A and B are shown apart, each in its own frame.
Chain A
Amino acid sequence: MGKATYKVKEGKLIKVNLTLNEGRIEEIKIMGDFFLHPEETIEDIERTLRGCILNEERICNLIRNALSREGAVLLGASPEDFARCIVMAGEKDG
């Protein structure tokens, strides 16, 4: 499993645990002390990222889409920050 921690400048702390399978995200948990409304959107984001390759831009787009689908608001972190931390965790897996 790959783990990464990323402190957002002037913002919150993001932690990601993930496992890759043949270069694609198999399991992922995005954790931290940020705010996301509605909160359950985090599970949608994680679901939508399963099967995705470890490409920062693609991950970021999937997160943005999930947020706008739910009309969700992220505070203390951005989709770019999430994507950065996910790629960091992915590079540590294996």
Chain B
Amino acid sequence: MAEEWRLLDTGLNDAFYNMALDEAIATARSRRLVPNTIRLYRWMPSAVSIGYFQSMEEEVDIEACDEMGIDYVRRRTGGGAVYHDTNGELTYSIVVDEDHRLVSEDFLETYRKLCSGIVLGLRMLGIPAEFKPINDIVVHGKKISGNAQTRRMHVILQHGTILRRVDPELMFRVLKVPSEKIRDKMIRTVKERVTSIRDVLGRDVSFEELKEAIIRGFEESFKIKLIRGDITEFEEELAQRLKDEIYSRKEWNFKR
């Protein structure tokens, strides 16, 4: 019988809750309160997340975000700034024990293994996706998914995005450019280096279709069975607390 993991589809939430819930699930797993888990989610309102080591002021155009009603949050994980459009992308997270067969001491190898579910899911949609070290998934050399991982309390948390469609102009209204002079150049660069499901297939894939493919991708690639479940009371309470005390606070979001 295949190993069973929990599947969560938490739908639309704000940036602070989204980051808080990923951490809450990892904490719950470290205390053996929940099984290994894959979560699918989206961002409402649209939001920018920055990597743990980035500076909010240097990466994000705060004023533009405030004007457009776009949230901004610091992640627990490293990596770069990401614009999470409500309708433009699907986000996933994986919470798995450090001693699981999919996890090795080598971070690159673990990225490769954990990204393989997304790679296979995208291939099922007819997208020739490939893992590209360190932490990207690309199609014809262009990035379609970025991923980031952290290890705490003997649990791995990896989250990442899958681009359904991409809008480089909007991306650079919310992300800072070093100078106005090179804004157009940066937009061109993104167009050359980033792609989306719509760009590759020439059609929109619905969130339902995308989720089904990603779920099957994870099941086949990880050799697991995903069982739909709900977040526990422990996770919900902890997520609310982490949102209130950390992720929605200036002290966290502007700490670097």
Contacts and interface: CB of A to CB of B under 8 A. Distances in A.
Contact of B51 (A11, A29, A33): A33
A75 interface: yes
Contacts of A33: 51, 53-54, 78-81
A29 B256 CA distance: 7
Interface in A52-94: 73, 75-76
Residue from A32, A33, A42, A73 with most neighbouring chain B CB atoms (10 Å): A33
Contact of B107 (A32, A35, A42): A35
B152 A38 contact: yes
B107 A39 contact: no
B109 to A, nearest CB: 12
A33 B150 CA distance: 14
Nearest to B108: A75
B151 A35 contact: no
Interface residues of A, number: 19
Contacts of A32: 51, 53-54
Contacts of A42: 52-53
Q: Which secondary structure characterizes the binding site on chain B?
A: loop
Q: Which secondary structure characterizes the binding site on chain A?
A: strand
Contact size class for B?
20 to 34
Interface in B155-174: none
Contact of B134 (A15, A30, A38, A76): A76
Nearest to B146: A33
B148 interface: yes
Contacts of A15: 55, 58
Interface string B111-133: 00000000000000000000000
B151 A38 contact: yes
A39 B134 CA distance: 17
A82 B55 CA distance: 16
A12 B78 CA distance: 11
B186 to A, nearest CB: 13
A35 B54 contact: no
A13 B108 CA distance: 18
17 contacts: A11-B134, A15-B55, A29-B55, A29-B256, A31-B256, A32-B53, A33-B54, A33-B78, A33-B79, A33-B80, A34-B78, A36-B53, A37-B151, A38-B151, A73-B107, A75-B134, A76-B134
Interface of A: 11-13, 15, 29-39, 42, 73, 75-76
Interface of B: 51-55, 58, 76-81, 107-108, 134-135, 148-152, 256
4 tightest CB-CB pairs across the interface, nearest first? A33-B80, A35-B78, A39-B52, A31-B55
